[in-house]
A and B are shown apart, each in its own frame.
Chain A
Amino acid sequence: MFKVKVYVTLKQGVLDPQGKAVKGALHSMDFQLVEEVRIGKYMELTVDHTENVEAQIEDMCKRLLANPVMEEYSYEIEEVVGQ
């Protein structure tokens, strides 16, 4: 088994309305050090042990998990060792 952690965020340069609101809130709490907030999605996939997992995850990200028009994605694949 593998555990796959997928991160999806808006592309750099695409204005993130939620991130902007959260940055405003942090500033109003006196966390002036915050220059930018980008909000994204985190997904955890548990997948069967198969060949070319990475190619399939890549395909899933491109076709469904992220919208390549405005989002970018990254992922980590960890092998889960049976108990």
Chain B
Amino acid sequence: MKFAVIVFPGSNCDIDMYHAIQDELGEEVSYVSHTDTDLSAFDGVLLPGGFSHGDYLRSGAIARFAPIMTAVKEAAQSGKPVLGVCNGFQILLETGLLPGAMKQNRDLKFMCRPTKLRVETNHTMFTSLYEVGEQITIPIAHGEGNYDCDEQTLQAMKQHNQIVFRYVGDNPNGSKDDIAGVINKQGNVLGMMPHPERAVSNLLGSEDGLRLFQSILKHWREKHVITS
């Protein structure tokens, strides 16, 4: 399986993402510049964390208009897995590929620490290797992770099982309904504030994030099984 890691000016988790795929998942991965326009050679798209375009105006607001984003939208429409982590999630929100918006953290502080998440559904191509209700430890690192959406959107997301991860116990940023990650209705675009790519080996403090990437790979292999 071949992954693309999109690099914007100000991305700073692109290398972590690259190595999570190359060294821990053991699949092919390339960096793709924000100025490129073609993702047809890739099976999966990863939008990494960071501060694209300095987070000026709003996080993700300027990155959303990068040339590569047209190709990201096409990849999403064609059903390829698209994962946005942290700033990547913010970009997906600004693009409208996921519902809602991000506000500054409730306590106005940049939070950087491990968090406990509950896996709310394993009926997704990103979480099939987790148990429903399983608690996992994945680190966060953000100043604007206070997820917000209107009541109608929240109800619709609940109805369609679109809330994939929730913070357990302490909600670090004030996000609505303790939301840490959401998926689109079609089930192939996931955005999450915690960083699974920073939790792919016990050397890093947790390997709970690795199964997210393994789930993507499993789904891809099942779709591309060679029948003899």
Contacts and interface: CB of A to CB of B under 8 A. Distances in A.
Sort chain B's interface into a size bin.
20 to 34
Residue of A14, A21, A64 most packed against chain B (CB within 10 A): A64
A21 B62 CA distance: 28
A74 interface: no
A10 interface: yes
A69 interface: yes
B104 A17 contact: yes
A69 to B, nearest CB: 4
Contacts of A18: 104, 108
Interface in B83-120: 93-94, 99-101, 103-108
A70 interface: yes
B9 to A, nearest CB: 17
A65 interface: yes
Nearest to A14: B148
Contacts of B10: none
Contacts of A70: 101, 103, 148
B137 interface: no
Contacts of A14: 103, 148
A21 B93 CA distance: 26
Contacts of B106: 17
A68 B135 CA distance: 34
B47 to A, nearest CB: 18
B31 interface: no
Interface residues of A, number: 12
A41 to B, nearest CB: 8
A56 interface: no
B111 to A, nearest CB: 13
A64 B65 contact: yes
Contact of A64 (B57, B107, B108, B146): B57
A51 B39 CA distance: 38
A69 B100 contact: yes
Contacts of B108: 17-18, 21
Contacts of B65: 64
A2 B80 CA distance: 45
Interface in A38-83: 64-65, 67, 69-70
A10 B59 CA distance: 15
A21 B103 CA distance: 14
A24 to B, nearest CB: 11
B109 to A, nearest CB: 10
12 contacts: A14-B103, A15-B174, A16-B103, A17-B104, A17-B146, A64-B65, A67-B58, A67-B61, A67-B94, A69-B93, A69-B99, A70-B148
Interface of A: 10, 14-18, 21, 64-65, 67, 69-70
